[in-house]
Structures are given as C-alpha cells and as structure tokens.
Structure 1
Amino acid sequence: MKLTDTCIDCLLSRVVMECELVSADKACTERTVVSCRDLLASLKGSSLLHPQIASAVHRKASQMIKNPDPFRELKAAGNAQAMEVCREVRGSLGTFRDVVLASVIGNTFDYAVKDHEVTSDFSRFFAGEFEKGLDVDDTDRILEKCSRVVYLTDNCGEIVFDRLLVGFLKARGSHVTVAVRDGPILNDATMEDALALGFDKVADLLTTTGGGSEIGLDLAKMPANLAKAIDECTIIIAKGMANFESLHEYRNMPPIAYLMCVKCEVIAGITGISRGSKIALLRERDQT
C-alpha cells in the first residue's frame, strides 16, 4: 500500500497525539510536526510501503519528543480494559468463530487512525459488536488451514483476545508461532506485553517482527526464526491494518487470514469492504 494525501493527514494527526501524550509544549509540537512533515515529503515518492514510511515518521516523532514509548500508559489501560471484559466473556466463547470475532472486536483498540474513536466502555461495546457478528466471515476456510500458524499481533488491548485465539488453536493441535513488535511504536504490542500475558507458555515460538520500532511486516528486517516459520506455515493470521498494508503488497506468500476492523476509507477502498466492518478475510496462496 502506497502513501496517499489522506494517509499523510492521518499520520501527522498521530504525531500531534504523541506530542499531547507526553505534554510537549507548543514549540516542541510545532518542531516535531514540521520535521515529520518534511520527512514525509522526502519519502512520499519512494518505493517504501506505507507501514515503512509510517514507522520512520513515528520514530522521528519519538526522537523529537525524547520519549521512546509515548503510548505506554494507553497500552496498559487497553490491556486492563480488555482483561476485565475477557474474564466476563471467555466462558461463552466456544467456537473458532467466537474467538476470532472477539479478537477482531479487540482490534478497535487502535489509536493510530484519525477519526477512529476508541470506546471508553469496552464491555458494552463488546457485547453490542459480538451480537452483530462478523461482516466478512471466512472462519470455516481459515480453520481448515490452521495446522501450522504464524500469528502476527497488532495492538495492546486486542492482544488479550489474541491469547484466547492462540490458546484455542493450540488446544486443537495447531503449531503456532506468535510475532509481536520488536520495539515500542504507537500502541502496538511488544514482547513485554506478550510475556505479561503468558504467550511464551502457549505459543510454540514467541518472536518479533524485527526492525526495532516498526509497524507491519518488513520481510527484509524480520528475524531468521520468523522467516523460517513463514516458509513452513500453512497460514499466516495477520491482525490489524498495518499488517494488511504490508502483506497485501507481497506475492508468493502462504494463505493469509486478515483479522481486523476496517477503520479507514483507504483500506475500505482497497478491500471493497465498508469502513467499520469486522472481517475475517482469507487470501488464498498465490504464486505470482
């Protein structure tokens, strides 16, 4: 996925949010926004994918505001909210479709998208969205391919429900590799979050996507153990829009299950699926 003017506006709004989260003064905020805007201008015509450019911008913002993890408190709050709801609902999640839907609802814990609002009452929100179900539901076809899974996580909050989904897959005999972000960026889950939730006790391999503070998946930066897992897997489960933005550009990949809420018009245009939709979308293996 290439950078659009809409993407630039969205990215810069997140830079402003990062400044607000660390209580940066007006002068620091202005310097940071200008620096990030200049970086975007220099990268817009490059061959880099959107997540690669966005990662560079957020690394620049963190450098300017002198804080490597401005979303740290929001991440902790998201995990706490999700764990409270998880305790309420986990006993009623009996099928693969149920745990996938819960995980997709969790994908709404996303502070990286302009005009996407993260609910303050997640319990009520979860109940309403669960009743509505998935808007695109390929779960039966996805489950058939889940003998060897590479699971690419996305945000804090939702990672609580990812833990349930990984546990479900392990209970049915799947081999599961879980990859989290290599360093803090936005409110994406890192190894610290995964270990706190016990992913090391349930996954066959817990690793990172590599590249330091990098959203999405850059094939050139991923560690050797993740590259090997992808070569050997029967399906990649990719959570969230950044992983979609990376993977939909790559060819000669295993089947990919995109589990996410469609939170912006750019992704809606690419997928042909309305903004706000909750999807479990299977992309079959291609050889082109």
Structure 2
Amino acid sequence: KANSLLIVGDNCGEAVLDKLLLDIAKVPNSYFSVRTKPALNDITMKEALEIRMDEVATLMDSGADAPGAQEKTMKRAFSEVYFSADVVISKGQGNLEGLSSVKREIFFLLMAKCEVIGGFLGVPKGSFVAYKKAESRG
C-alpha cells in the first residue's frame, strides 16, 4: 500500500533481483540508489543503466563512495527521498553500519559478515538477516 519505495542498493549481482522486486511491487514512486564510486563490487549508475534499472525506478546517486551510505555524505536529492519515502529497504552490511543511527524506520537486508554486527543483531556471523529498525525519536 506504499506510495513510495526506496531501495538503497549494494552490490551489482543483487541489483538484478532488486530490479525484479521493484518490477513486481508496482509501487507508484519507486527509487533505487547507487554508489557514487564503487568501494568493492558496489553498483554505480553505470551498472544500473546497463541492467536497465531505470525502467522500474528513478535512479539516484546516494553520494556514497564507501561501502555504505551515510547521512553526512548524502546528496540532497537522495536525502529528500530517503527521509520522505514510505518504505526504505537498505541492502548490505555497509549500509547498516552507515544508516542504523538515522532517525527513521528502515528495513535492512544483509549478511552479518563479522562478530560485531552479528552481536548487534543477535545472530551468528554469516547469518542472513532481515532487520526492521523502528523510527527513533529525539
């Protein structure tokens, strides 16, 4: 029932499945964000256009040139969508690390790649996780 959905993208391989999700979700205002520069195997605008992600979502550059988006490096247009979207799905551990303190509800999909993140999420290292962070106030 959401009017707007933002997927904060992570790696190139997963982006093909993200495109499928955006296609079948049929959310009126769908957005997909990419990294400014790849830190590892991260999706950038180049790869998003190669898989024609723009056919199912408005593409946005998050401003991130590290393994995850962070509030302090968000581009203005991305920040506006990030804070106003009805639903935000963030992919990857790097995005969890950078966005977990932002004051809004967000759904994180990731693999806990280290003991610290596993401990934070209450799961063993190597676990695949769907984590809903409630909107925090204050």
Q: SS of 2:72's equivalent?
A: coil
Structure 1: which 5+ runs fail to align? 1-143
Q: How does 1:65-144 map to 2 (within 5 A)?
A: none
Q: Does the alignment pair 1:148 with 2:4? A: yes
Q: SS of 1:176's equivalent?
A: strand
Q: Does the alignment pair 1:187 with 2:41? A: yes
Report what 2:126 is aligned to: 276
Q: SS of 2:71's equivalent?
A: coil
Q: Does the alignment pair 1:210 with 2:63? A: yes
CA drift of 1:218 comes to 2.1
Q: Select the residue among 154, 162, 176 that pairs with 2:18.
A: 162
Letter of the 1:241 partner, please give it.
Q
Report what 2:85 is aligned to: 233
Cα distance in 2 for partners of 1:264, 1:147 equals 35
How many residues matched?
138
| 8 Å CA contact 2:71, 2:99 repeated in 1 | no
Report what 2:75 is aligned to: 223
| 8 Å CA contact 2:70, 2:95 repeated in 1 | no
Structure ranking higher in helix proportion: 1
TM-score of the two chains, using structure 2 as the length reference: 0.90
TM-score of the two chains, using structure 1 as the length reference: 0.45
Q: SS of 2:43's equivalent?
A: coil
CA drift of 1:258 comes to 0.5
Q: SS of 1:285's equivalent?
A: coil
Q: SS of 2:119's equivalent?
A: helix
Q: SS of 1:161's equivalent?
A: helix
Cα distance in 1 for partners of 2:43, 2:34 equals 6
Cα distance in 2 for partners of 1:202, 1:266 equals 35
Cα distance in 1 for partners of 2:3, 2:107 equals 13
Cα distance in 1 for partners of 2:21, 2:98 equals 22
Cα distance in 2 for partners of 1:271, 1:201 equals 34
Q: SS of 1:236's equivalent?
A: strand
C-alpha RMSD of the superposition: 1.6
Q: Which structure would you say has the larger Rg?
A: 1
Q: Select the residue among 100, 108, 111 that pairs with 1:248.
A: 100
Q: SS of 1:177's equivalent?
A: strand
Cα distance in 2 for partners of 1:270, 1:158 equals 24
| Closer/same/farther in 2, CA of residues 147 and 283 from structure 1, 3 Å limit | farther
Letter of the 1:167 partner, please give it.
D
Structure ranking higher in strand proportion: 2
CA drift of 1:174 comes to 4.1
Letter of the 2:14 partner, please give it.
E
